[in-house]
């Protein structure tokens, strides 16, 4: 667009009139003068010139002849340069009477065109200005919206969920299983699938394959450590956890797990010990006997045996400390250990904090067993819902919210024993708990962010296998898993109970006909294994005599043998009874700061997000712990694998049957 021609006070001199006229005729533009438009100004200037100079007027209303004009001009050619301009204007304006009307029409048309251009360009400029303003307002709004979205509210809640041992393959297994069982279309997905956020790398400082303790320490402290470490760093310094820092900052805190609450994941958020097997000490720190005092407000899960003195039946402590009594009397915990007590909590409405709920001596049973055989135990989703409501109620009048860690702990155990039937039900229940948290967020008046991930993958699950001596079959069969009503763990326990009962019944009897009786007993045992355990429990009706005999002769290996029976028939494969180094998925509800854990990140990045979102100072807690605890005694850690290998001793290697 041409730049407007400036019009200073003297721009409308007679000498400029012709220049401006030529500009209008030969270069259509708007001449932006502070005053009348150019055509109007031109008319006014010409009229004024005619009045002042007789050369531009014929005195009687008619133009002069050519000869008279020339003679008069010659006598003054050097006296006034403006006269020459006047003459030029006169010549141009009086060239011919015949062309006068045409010139007027041209000038009038030029004036109209100029005015139209003025109007058009004015409208264009107005629209452009309006567009710029709209874009500026929209940009500012977007920036403010992004800032509001990225900036946490003053009061906030953070829910962190851990699917222990769940890699990507169990999600695929469970999704297909659910589609088959419920007759769903192939595009039906889990709630988790709808909130996929990224993936996490999992290695520890001591191994490419992490354990749950090092994995949980990466989450709780935001730092890598060695396998087996519970919030302790490789240099044996304790590290402050996000839960402990949150409590110090005024948040309420909670832990929910389906294993014992002293297990690696909940332990790494609420205590500092050199090795995960120190569950006696973890229990003490959790109720308030640690260097920081009580930092947890609510604990729900299993593992009651570590809270009972060893003089009590059902205890697994090495000493005679009654941790439950200590918690109630010294630290004012409320306590329950059964279904009736859990139901009395009324979904979290009747919880008096601090609250300790230990609903099983060890782990809460697998979901497939809890639902089908013994529902006296609360499920993961029930405990999660109760805990969320209890913490929400406790923070109603607080300017701080809460932090809670919820773990679907036994997905990992199903992977360790290679039991696909148990695993799909654990993942389904975890998905249900995840959905319950989303429902809570939807109805909560307080900003709440949910982040979920796994510490590692367990079992090396593959949703297809190639049997020895056979070509690969590109399929697996969820129907086999759908027929099962019990886990391999439950069936193995039932077998051991049956054998103990048979042994007791034989006490005091003589050994006459010993060999013959043994053969009969073996056949009776095989019948029991097939009919009561394999057919009724696993839903398998074609077990071979060799398979049944192997279980009868090796009852100590029944756990993995039952798992092998169902895995082979479902065409589900496993590479290990331990952990793997595969990346694990991250899921989230979204919210302020969650973009930091988009894509592929380290597990420590997840931990950093947790404390950044809550805006708490882990370094301050770490320094306090170091001052009060000093360095953690490293004696016995020379052989890290040996120090915690006993944790996996119950999972036996699968042997060919």
Known binding residues for Zn(2+): 164, 412, 416, 455-456, 579
Residue found by looking up tokens 């639902």 in the block: 371
And the tokens for 450?
Answer: 């949910």
Tell me if residue 584 falls in helix, strand or coil: strand
Helix or strand (DSSP H, E) at 596:
none
Q: Residue 354: is the preceding peptide bond cis (ω within 30°)?
A: yes
How far apart, in whole angstroms, are the C-alpha atoms of residue 622 and residue 625? Answer: 5
- CB atoms under 10 Å from CB of 562, counted, come to 31
How far apart, in whole angstroms, are the C-alpha atoms of residue 596 and residue 593? Answer: 6
Closest by Cα among 46, 56, 61 to 84: 56
Residue 334 is given by DSSP the state E
CB 304 within 8 A of CB 358: yes
Residues that constitute the known binding site: 164, 263, 265, 407, 412, 416, 455-456, 579
Closest by Cα among 150, 174, 102, 218 to 427: 174
Q: How far is CA 466 from CA 423, 470, 561, in A?
A: 21, 7, 18
Closest by Cα among 591, 439, 451 to 161: 451
How far apart, in whole angstroms, are the C-alpha atoms of residue 44 and residue 46? Answer: 6
CB 234 within 8 A of CB 226: yes
Q: How far is CA 318 from CA 279, 291, 321, 564, in A?
A: 10, 21, 9, 35
Residues forming the active site: 212
Q: How far is CA 15 from CA 10, 59, 81, 84, in A?
A: 10, 23, 10, 10
The rounded Cα 211 to chain-centroid distance in angstroms is 22
Q: How far is CA 543 from CA 54, 213, 443, 548, 560, in A?
A: 129, 39, 50, 7, 15
Phi and psi at 212, nearest 5°, equal: -65, -30
CB 593 within 8 A of CB 602: no
Helix or strand (DSSP H, E) at 600:
strand 599-602
Beta-ladder partners of 604: none
Q: What is the CA radius of gyration of the chain?
A: 43
Residues that constitute the known binding site for Mg(2+): 164, 263, 265, 407
CA angle 307, 310, 316 (to 5 degrees): 60
How far apart, in whole angstroms, are the C-alpha atoms of residue 327 and residue 47? Answer: 107
CB 326 within 8 A of CB 318: no
Beta-ladder partners of 298: 254, 355
CB 69 within 8 A of CB 94: no
Axis-axis angle for helices 66-74, 81-93 (nearest 10): 170
The rounded Cα 451 to chain-centroid distance in angstroms is 4
As a three-state string, the secondary structure of 389-458 is HHHHHHCCCCCCCEEEEEEECHHHHHHHCCCHHHHHHHHHHHHHHHHHHHHHHHHCCCEEEEEEECCCEE
Axis-axis angle for helices 168-182, 420-443 (nearest 10): 90
Closest by Cα among 432, 415, 458 to 579: 458
Tell me if residue 199 falls in helix, strand or coil: strand
């Amino acid at each position: 667009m041409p730049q407007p021609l400036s019009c200073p006070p003297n721009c409308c001199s007679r000498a400029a009139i012709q220049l401006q006229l030529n500009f209008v005729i030969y270069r259509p533009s708007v001449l932006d003068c502070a005053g009348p438009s150019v055509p109007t100004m031109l008319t006014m200037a010409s009229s004024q010139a005619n009045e002042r100079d007789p050369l531009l007027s014929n005195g009687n209303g008619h133009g002069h002849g050519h000869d008279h004009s020339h003679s008069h001009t010659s006598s003054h050619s050097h006296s006034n340069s403006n006269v020459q301009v006047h003459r030029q204007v006169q010549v141009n304006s009086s060239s011919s009477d015949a062309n006068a009307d045409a010139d007027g029409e041209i000038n009038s048309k030029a004036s109209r065109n100029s005015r139209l251009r003025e109007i058009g360009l004015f409208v264009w400029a107005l629209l452009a200005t309006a567009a710029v303003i709209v874009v500026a307002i929209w940009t500012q709004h977007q920036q403010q919206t992004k800032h509001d979205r990225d900036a946490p509210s003053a009061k906030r809640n953070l829910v962190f969920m851990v699917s222990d041992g769940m890699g990507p393959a169990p999600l695929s297994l469970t999704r297909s299983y659910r589609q088959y069982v419920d007759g769903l279309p192939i595009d039906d997905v889990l709630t988790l699938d709808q909130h996929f956020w990224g993936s996490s790398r999992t290695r520890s400082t001591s191994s490419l394959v992490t354990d749950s303790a090092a994995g949980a320490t990466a989450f709780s402290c935001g730092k890598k450590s060695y396998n087996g470490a519970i919030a302790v760093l490789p240099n044996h310094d304790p590290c402050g956890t996000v839960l402990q820092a949150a409590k110090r900052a005024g948040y309420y805190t909670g832990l929910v797990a389906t294993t014992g609450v002293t297990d690696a994941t909940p332990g790494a958020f609420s205590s500092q010990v050199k090795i995960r097997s120190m569950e006696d000490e973890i229990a003490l720190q959790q109720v308030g006997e640690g260097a920081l005092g009580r930092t947890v407000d609510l604990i729900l899960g299993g593992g009651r045996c570590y809270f009972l003195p060893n003089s009590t039946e059902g205890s697994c402590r090495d000493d005679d400390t009654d941790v439950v009594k200590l918690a109630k009397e010294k630290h004012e915990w409320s306590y329950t250990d059964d279904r009736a007590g859990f139901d009395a909590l009324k979904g979290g409405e009747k919880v008096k904090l601090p609250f300790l709920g230990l609903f099983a001596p060890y782990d809460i049973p697998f979901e497939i067993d809890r639902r089908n055989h013994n529902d006296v135990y609360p499920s993961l989703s029930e405990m999660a819902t109760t805990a969320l409501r209890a913490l929400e109620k406790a923070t109603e009048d607080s300017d701080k919210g809460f932090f809670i860690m919820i773990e679907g702990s036994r997905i990992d155990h199903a992977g360790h024993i290679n039991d696909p039937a148990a695993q799909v039900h654990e993942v389904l229940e975890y998905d249900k708990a995840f959905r319950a948290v989303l429902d809570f967020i939807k109805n909560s008046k307080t900003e709440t962010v949910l982040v979920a991930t796994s510490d590692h993958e367990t079992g090396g699950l593959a949703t297809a296998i190639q049997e020895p001596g056979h070509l690969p079959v590109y399929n697996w069969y969820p129907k086999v898993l759908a027929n099962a009503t019990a886990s391999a763990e439950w069936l193995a326990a039932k077998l051991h109970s049956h054998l103990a009962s048979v042994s007791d019944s034989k006490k005091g009897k003589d050994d006459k006909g010993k060999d013959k009786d043994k053969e009969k007993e073996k056949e009776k045992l095989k019948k029991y294994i097939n009919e009561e355990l394999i057919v009724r429990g696993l839903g398998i009706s074609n077990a071979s005599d060799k398979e049944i005999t192997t279980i009868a002769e090796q009852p100590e290996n029944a756990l993995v043998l039952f798992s092998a029976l169902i895995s082979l028939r479902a065409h589900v494969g496993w590479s290990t009874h331990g952990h793997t180094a595969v990346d694990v998925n991250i899921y989230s509800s979204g919210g302020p700061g969650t973009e930091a854990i988009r894509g592929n990140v380290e597990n420590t990045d997840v931990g950093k997000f947790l404390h950044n979102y809550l805006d708490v100072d882990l370094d301050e807690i770490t320094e306090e712990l170091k001052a009060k605890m000093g360095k953690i005694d490293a004696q016995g850690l020379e052989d890290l694998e040996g120090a915690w290998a006993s944790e996996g001793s119950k999972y036996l290697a699968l042997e060919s049957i």
